[in-house]
Chain A
């Protein structure tokens, strides 16, 4: 690992990453894509959080375990995700977020 940030909170929607890469925002966010995202995750796909301004973070760590068992119900929802950003390589790719806690914002 190259670096780990201080603990911070990201706000954004949980989505399946390969679907997002292939189809963009319109084809991967919102209620219409929850079922196909769940299907992808069951086959080994990765979940990420698409923030408002800082881009997409792939979710790793505790919440990644067991095919994102603790996160699957949040797909398609806007959440608050608390954890640390980790950098493991110098490659230009999606950033990684070691998520510890997920919350639905109160207004939802």
Chain B
């Protein structure tokens, strides 16, 4: 009889959930899918991240660091504040609160591997040489091979290259990328078109700071971004004789590496003229007014008026070492204010945030874009070279800047009306 009771008790215990009532969180079942989606693009062998996070064995030595970095939302690097404004973006690797909690619970439980049969198939990565925008019509390289030493400080450098283009063409897609085998040393890069441009395209800012102000932003490479395909009917004129400026951030990997970064351009067919012209400019500037006393946190404001209806497709904050945060709001012609987004700023990551197509801000003519930019010139800002110094505007990294980098197209009134009505109808249908 006693034996029977022991067996019954054992059966009941086996059926009872763990005291906390929570299921066991394992690497195979719960954590690996998060890493696959949000981490492994940068963290696989040979990629830019300093360690691979592909297997349990790769991840195990980093578990406490992963918990700390994800809980602080330092990793993956995505600085849009999730509770303010628009929340849908392209190529968004950010973690939900639930995913961060899952990682934390897993680490706290001793980082169990779990059942290998629960693992999803390993993520595979496309050949480094494959262009995501399709075969480019024109590939332009930096003019010489750049050698990144095995061990050296980070380097920001510009290269200017002739495009070799002999006729005007309209850009349909663009993709910049490090040279073969150099992904581990190219932290990020920006490309710019240098050519004679119309008034709308001229860089806003201090003209004397550049040898030419006939320069406009083209695109950004950062790990996890796969090139930019412009919205249908939207293009950017690339003129014969245009030059490309590459602005590169190199980072030593421990092994001497040679790089020949390039940008691929794909054009609309000859003779096709897109209806809309894409503009990318530094606007809502507050740089000229910057006055940042020692040991203080400051706010500066910038404004830009859209004279025609506009659709914003991407935003980026630009500051330097003391940059802290930027908010963008649209002051509409009826004086109502719409907050677009707030984004924390970290000089290590010059992130461009591309809105998902369905939520690109549509702004009526006369809208004023208002940028609010904060700098932290105290010791609390880890990247601050010296909080005892006053800081103002300047080109050097130890000087400061403050503006929004915005990509948009101007729309005609009929298209603007149609797009806003379609969006309103979609919102009503989804309610």
Residues in chain B near residue A89, CB distance under 8 A: 153-154
Apart from A21-B50, A24-B57: 18 A-B pairs, beta carbons within 8 A? A17-B254, A18-B253, A18-B254, A21-B255, A22-B45, A23-B45, A24-B52, A25-B55, A25-B60, A45-B255, A46-B150, A50-B61, A53-B63, A53-B65, A55-B65, A90-B383, A91-B348, A94-B50
> Would you give the 0/1 interface string for B256-282, flagging 1 where the beta carbon is closer than 8 Å to chain A?
000000000000000000000000000
Residues in chain B near residue A22, CB distance under 8 A: 45-46, 184, 255
> Would you give the 0/1 interface string for A1-38, flagging 1 where the beta carbon is closer than 8 Å to chain B?
01000000000100001101111111100000000000
**What is the size, in residues, of chain A's interface with B at 8 Å between Cβ atoms?**
28
Are B61 and A18 within 8 A (Cβ)?
Answer: no
Give chain A nearest CB distance to B180 CB in angstroms.
15
Are B347 and A90 within 8 A (Cβ)?
Answer: yes
Bound complex: CA A45 to CA B60 (Å): 24
Can you name the residue of chain A whose Cβ is closest to the Cβ of B184?
A: A21
Are A24 and B61 within 8 A (Cβ)?
Answer: no
Question: Is B64 in contact with chain A by the CB < 8 A criterion?
Answer: yes
Question: Is A79 in contact with chain B by the CB < 8 A criterion?
Answer: no
Question: Is B390 in contact with chain A by the CB < 8 A criterion?
Answer: no
Question: Is B151 in contact with chain A by the CB < 8 A criterion?
Answer: yes
**What is the size, in residues, of chain B's interface with A at 8 Å between Cβ atoms?**
31
Bound complex: CA A44 to CA B256 (Å): 10
Residues in chain B near residue A45, CB distance under 8 A: 150, 254-255
Question: Is A56 in contact with chain B by the CB < 8 A criterion?
Answer: yes
Give chain A nearest CB distance to B254 CB in angstroms.
4
Which one of A12, A44, A45, A53 has the greatest number of beta carbons of chain B within 10 Å? Answer: A53
Give chain A nearest CB distance to B248 CB in angstroms.
15
> Would you give the 0/1 interface string for B112-132, flagging 1 where the beta carbon is closer than 8 Å to chain A?
000000000000000000000
Q: List 26 A-B contacts (CB under 8 A).
A: A21-B45, A21-B255, A22-B184, A22-B255, A24-B51, A24-B52, A25-B55, A25-B57, A25-B60, A26-B57, A26-B58, A44-B151, A45-B255, A46-B150, A52-B61, A53-B61, A53-B65, A53-B111, A54-B61, A54-B65, A89-B153, A90-B382, A91-B348, A92-B74, A92-B348, A94-B50
Residues in chain B near residue A44, CB distance under 8 A: 150-151
Q: Which label, helix, strand, loop or mixed, suits the secondary structure of the B interface? A: loop
Q: Per a CB cutoff under 8 Å, which of A12, A18, A55, A90 touches B255?
A: A18
Question: Is B318 in contact with chain A by the CB < 8 A criterion?
Answer: no
Give chain A nearest CB distance to B1 CB in angstroms.
48
Question: Is A82 in contact with chain B by the CB < 8 A criterion?
Answer: no
Are A55 and B382 within 8 A (Cβ)?
Answer: no
Bound complex: CA A37 to CA B52 (Å): 18
Residues in chain A near residue B54, CB distance under 8 A: 24
Are A21 and B254 within 8 A (Cβ)?
Answer: yes
Q: Per a CB cutoff under 8 Å, which of B46, B61, B151, B382 touches A46?
A: B151
Question: Is A100 in contact with chain B by the CB < 8 A criterion?
Answer: no
Bound complex: CA A16 to CA B107 (Å): 26
Residues in chain A near residue B325, CB distance under 8 A: none
Residues in chain A near residue B65, CB distance under 8 A: 53-55
Residues in chain A near residue B306, CB distance under 8 A: none
Bound complex: CA A94 to CA B251 (Å): 12
> Would you give the 0/1 interface string for B220-248, flagging 1 where the beta carbon is closer than 8 Å to chain A?
00000000000000000000000000000
Given the known inter-chain contacts A20-B51, A22-B46, A91-B251, please indicate yes or no for A12 contacting B61, CB distance below 8 A. yes
Residues in chain A near residue B347, CB distance under 8 A: 90
Bound complex: CA A22 to CA B150 (Å): 13
Bound complex: CA A90 to CA B400 (Å): 17
Bound complex: CA A56 to CA B65 (Å): 10
Bound complex: CA A73 to CA B181 (Å): 31
Can you name the residue of chain A whose Cβ is closest to the Cβ of B59?
A: A25
Give chain A nearest CB distance to B115 CB in angstroms.
21
Give chain A nearest CB distance to B304 CB in angstroms.
30
Can you name the residue of chain A whose Cβ is closest to the Cβ of B349?
A: A92
Give B317-361 interface residues, CB cut-off 8 Å to A: 321, 347-348
Are B251 and A24 within 8 A (Cβ)?
Answer: no
Can you name the residue of chain A whose Cβ is closest to the Cβ of B46?
A: A22
Are B51 and A55 within 8 A (Cβ)?
Answer: yes
Residues in chain B near residue A25, CB distance under 8 A: 52, 55, 57-58, 60-61
Can you name the residue of chain A whose Cβ is closest to the Cβ of B53?
A: A24
Are B61 and A56 within 8 A (Cβ)?
Answer: yes
Given the known inter-chain contacts A12-B61, A93-B50, please indicate yes or no for A21 contacting B151, CB distance below 8 A. no
Give chain B nearest CB distance to A5 CB in angstroms.
15
